[in-house]
C-alpha cells in the first residue's frame, strides 16, 4: 500500500519502505486509493512522522456509498454464519499482528504500549464476539390468536450505514461499530479520526485479508466537515453511528432527523465518583487515579470530578496525590512510562489552559502542571485540583485530559445530588463498603453505566454501553447483543396453513 505523492517536509525518513508502512489510504470497493497529503506526527516525538493519509472529498464519499450500495444485497444474502466466519478470521489476524499494530497506535495516538496492545486485543475480541453471533438465533416464534397460524419475527439489515469514529480508541471503536453492522448484513462506509488514520487502516487490512468482499467495508479519510457531512446528508445512508463531541453529535442528529434516518450518538462525559467515609482511602485513590489518569484521561468514561465526605477527605487527597505522582508521563514505547502523551498540540494546550484558569479562579493545585513546553513532546503530568466551587468550569465541562477535581460534600445524599447535577450522564462511580448505599446509588445515579469500587473507565464488550442526557441519544446501546438493535429493523411474519 503506497501513496502517489506526499509532502516530504512532513517526514524525517523518506525511504520508500517507511513511506509505505506509514501510509493510510481510502478503501473504496476493495481498492486502496488517494494521495497521502496529510502528515501525522508522533505526539511523544514531535519530529517523527507517525502516519500519512489522504484528505477525502464528497466525491470520495459518493464513490464509497455507491460501492457499498452495490455490495449490500449479496452481503445480506450470505448466510450469517459465513459473514461471522469472516469477522472471526479478521479478529484472528488482528491478534497475530497485535505487536506491530500496537506500536503504530502508540506512535500516532500517544498511549502506552500496554494500553495499545490491550486495545488491539479488544478489537480482536469484538470481531470474534460478533462473528460468533452469526450462529445465534435472531428472531422468535410466537403464538397467534388465529387458528392454523404461526407468527415469527425477523431482524433485517438497514442497508448502508455510516460510521464516524474518534481518535482516542482508534481501532477498538471502529471495530465495535463495524462488527455488529456487518454481522447484521449491512455494508459500511467509515470516516476514521484524522489524527489516527493508520489504526483504522489496520482494521481494514484485516477485514480485507480475511476475505471480506469488495465494497462491503469502505474507508474514507478526511475532515469531518467534508467527509462526515457528506455521509450524514446522503439519502443512501440508512443509519449513522457517531462517537465524538456533544456539539458535533447534536449537529449530525439534526441532519439525520431531518431526513428520518436512524442515528446513534455517543458523546461527551463528565464522570463523577462519590467517595464515602467508610471506604478505604488508598483503594479509593487507586480507583479514581486509574479512571482519571489511565489512557492519559483521554476517554469519554474517564473520572474527572470526585466528591468526598469530610471524614475521608484528608486521607483520600494524600493518597490520590501519591497515586498521581506514580503516573509518570512519557513516550508510550518506553517500558517505564505509565501514562502516555497527550494526543495533539491543541489538546495539550487545552488541558493546560483548563488547569491554569482553574488556579486563577482560586483552585488549589495539589499535583500537576500548566506550563509545559509548548514546542516539545506532549507530556503532561496528571493534575489534582481542589477548593473549587461546584459550578466551576473544571467541574462542569469536559476537559478530556488527565485532570480531576476533588470537592467535599456533607454526606451521601449531597454527594449523589452532586453526581447527578450535570448535563452529562455517561458513567458514575461510588467507593463504599456499604452494600445498601451501593445498591441505592446504582438505582438513583443518572448515568448509563455505574461502577461500584471500580474505575469509571473500562468496559466489557459483551454488555450494553451508552449514556443519558447529553452523553447519548439514549435510544440504542453499543456493544453486546444490544448493539445489533441499531443496525437492524424488526419484521413480523404471519404464516397460515
Q: What is the DSSP string of 187-198?
A: EEEEE--TT-HH
Q: Is residue 14's pLDDT more than 80?
A: no
Q: Is residue 5's pLDDT more than 50?
A: no
Confidence of residue 373 (pLDDT cuts 50, 70, 90): confident
Confidence of residue 20 (pLDDT cuts 50, 70, 90): low
The CATH code of the domain at 271-461 is 3.40.309.10
Task: Kindly state the helix (H) or strand (E) to which residue 61 belongs, with its residue range.
Answer: helix 58-77
pLDDT tens-digit readout, 424-454? 999 999 999 999 999 999 999 999 999 999 9
Task: Kindly state the helix (H) or strand (E) to which residue 167 belongs, with its residue range.
Answer: none
Catalytic residue IDs: 300
Predicted pLDDT of residue 395: 98
Residue 275 bridge partners (DSSP) = 308, 431
Predicted pLDDT of residue 329: 96
Pick from 447, 453, 452: nearest CA to 465? 447
Mean pLDDT for all residues in the chain: 94
Q: How much of the chain is helix, strand and coil, in % rounded to 5?
A: 40, 20, 35
Do 158 and 122 touch, CB atoms closer than 8 A? Answer: no
Regarding the domain delimited by 8-267+472-494, which CATH topology (the fold level of the hierarchy) does it fall under? Aldehyde Dehydrogenase; Chain A, domain 1 (3.40.605)
> CATH 3.40.605.10: which residues of the chain?
8-267+472-494
Per-residue cell: 401: 485530559
Task: Kindly state the helix (H) or strand (E) to which residue 79 belongs, with its residue range.
Answer: none
Per-residue cell: 241: 453511528
Give the side-chain half-sphere CA count within 13 A for 150: 6
Confidence of residue 19 (pLDDT cuts 50, 70, 90): low
Q: Is residue 45's pLDDT more than 70?
A: yes
> CATH 3.40.309.10: which residues of the chain?
271-461
Confidence of residue 138 (pLDDT cuts 50, 70, 90): confident
Q: Which letter does DSSP use for residue 139 in this model?
A: -
Q: Which residue has the cell 466489557?
A: 460
Amino acid at each position: 500500500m503506497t501513496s502517489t505523492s506526499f509532502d516530504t517536509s512532513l517526514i524525517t525518513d523518506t525511504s520508500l519502505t517507511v513511506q509505505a508502512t506509514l501510509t493510510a489510504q481510502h478503501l473504496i470497493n476493495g481498492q486502496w486509493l488517494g494521495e497521502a497529503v496529510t502528515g501525522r506526527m508522533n505526539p511523544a516525538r514531535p519530529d517523527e512522522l507517525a502516519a500519512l493519509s489522504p484528505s477525502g472529498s464528497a466525491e470520495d464519499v459518493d464513490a464509497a456509498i455507491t460501492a457499498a450500495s452495490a455490495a449490500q444485497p449479496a452481503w445480506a444474502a450470505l448466510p450469517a454464519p459465513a459473514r461471522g466466519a469472516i469477522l472471526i478470521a479478521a479478529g484472528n489476524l488482528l491478534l497475530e499482528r497485535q505487536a506491530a499494530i500496537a506500536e503504530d497506535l502508540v506512535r500516532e495516538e500517544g498511549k502506552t504500549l500496554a494500553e495499545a496492545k490491550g486495545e488491539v486485543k479488544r478489537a480482536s475480541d469484538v470481531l470474534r464476539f460478533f462473528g460468533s453471533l452469526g450462529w445465534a438465533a435472531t428472531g422468535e416464534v410466537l403464538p397467534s390468536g388465529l387458528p392454523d397460524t404461526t407468527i415469527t419475527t425477523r431482524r433485517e439489515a438497514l442497508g448502508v450505514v455510516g460510521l464516524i469514529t474518534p481518535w482516542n480508541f482508534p481501532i477498538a471503536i471502529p471495530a465495535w461499530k463495524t462488527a455488529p453492522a456487518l454481522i447484521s448484513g449491512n455494508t459500511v462506509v467509515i470516516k476514521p479520526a484524522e489524527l489516527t488514520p493508520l489504526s483504522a487502516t489496520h482494521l481494514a487490512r484485516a477485514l480485507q485479508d480475511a476475505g471480506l468482499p469488495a465494497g462491503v467495508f469502505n474507508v474514507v479519510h478526511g475532515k469531518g466537515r467534508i467527509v462526515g457531512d457528506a455521509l450524514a446528508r446522503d439519502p443512501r445512508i440508512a443509519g449513522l453511528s457517531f462517537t465524538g463531541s456533544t456539539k458535533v453529535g447534536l449537529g449530525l442528529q439534526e441532519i439525520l432527523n431531518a431526513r428520518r434516518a436512524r442515528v446513534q450518538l455517543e458523546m461527551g462525559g463528565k464522570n463523577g465518583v462519590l467517595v464515602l467515609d467508610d471506604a478505604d482511602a488508598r483503594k479509593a485513590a487507586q480507583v479514581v487515579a486509574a479512571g482519571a489518569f489511565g489512557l492519559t484521561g483521554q476517554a469519554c468514561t474517564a473520572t474527572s470530578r470526585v466528591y468526598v465526605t469530610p471524614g475521608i477527605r484528608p486521607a483520600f487527597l494524600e493518597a490520590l496525590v501519591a497515586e498521581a505522582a506514580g503516573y509518570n508521563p512519557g513516550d508510550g514505547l518506553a517500558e517505564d512510562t505509565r501514562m502516555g502523551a497527550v494526543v495533539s498540540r491543541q489538546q495539550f494546550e487545552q488541558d493546560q489552559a483548563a488547569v491554569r484558569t482553574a488556579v486563577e479562579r482560586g483552585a488549589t493545585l495539589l499535583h500537576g502542571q500548566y506550563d509545559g513546553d509548548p514546542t516539545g513532546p506532549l507530556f503532561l503530568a496528571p493534575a489534582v485540583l481542589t477548593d473549587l466551587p461546584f459550578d466551576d468550569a473544571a467541574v462542569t465541562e469536559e476537559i478530556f485530559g488527565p485532570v480531576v477535581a476533588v470537592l467535599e460534600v456533607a454526606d451521601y445524599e449531597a454527594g449523589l445530588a452532586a453526581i447527578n447535577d450535570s448535563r452529562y450522564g455517561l458513567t458514575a462511580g461510588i467507593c463504599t463498603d456499604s452494600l445498601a448505599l451501593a445498591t441505592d446509588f446504582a438505582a438513583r445515579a443518572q448515568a448509563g453505566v455505574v461502577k461500584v469500587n471500580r474505575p469509571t473507565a473500562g468496559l466489557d464488550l459483551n454488555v450494553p454501553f451508552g449514556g443519558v442526557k447529553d452523553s447519548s441519544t439514549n435510544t440504542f446501546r453499543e456493544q453486546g447483543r444490544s448493539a445489533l438493535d441499531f443496525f437492524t429493523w424488526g419484521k413480523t411474519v404471519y404464516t397460515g396453513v
